[in-house]
Amino acid sequence: MANFELHPRLAQDCHFLGVTQGSQILLMDDARFPWMILVPEIPDALELHELSDAAFAGLTYLVRETSEVLKRITEAEKINVAALGNQVPQLHVHVVARFSSDDAWPQPVWGLDGKRPYEKKTLRQLEGEISKELITA
């Protein structure tokens, strides 16, 4: 089995926060949307439904926990959850905090131009809040 390596597109677009329950916890570098991405460290995983029973249960549980934490921290109106993978085939799950005032509402966030990188201070604060609640390793 090959070693796990994060897809270069995810590595480029996101900040790495840590590892929890076997998944890398990433934060998309786009201040328009508090947007987390969970990537199970399983080489060659492509489809959510093709995970083993244990890996599937672990990842969906982590999605639930991440959604709760992100909604509480950001006071989001809605959480969007998705496993797409049309552009980045490596299995990853998006958990996005949405507001009726955000740049994409009510449409989904994918494919929207105009990415706005975080300012350092905002990033550090958000990373700290998420890590405190969610990162175990």
CB atoms within 10 A of CB 75: 8
Q: Give dist(CA 103, CA 105) in Å, integer.
A: 6
Q: Which stretch binds a copy of itself (CB under 8 A): 15-23, 27-35, 48-56, 113-121?
A: 48-56
Q: Which amino acid is present at 63?
A: V
* 1-30: contacts with a copy of itself (CB under 8 A): none
Q: 22: closest CA among 8, 40, 47, 45?
A: 40
Least CB distance to a copy of itself at residue 3 (A): 24
Among 25, 38, 63, 97, binds a copy of itself (CB under 8 A): 63
DSSP summary character for residue 88: S
Site of interaction with a copy of itself (CB under 8 A): 47-49, 56-57, 60, 63-65, 67-68, 71, 78-87, 89, 98, 105-108, 110-111
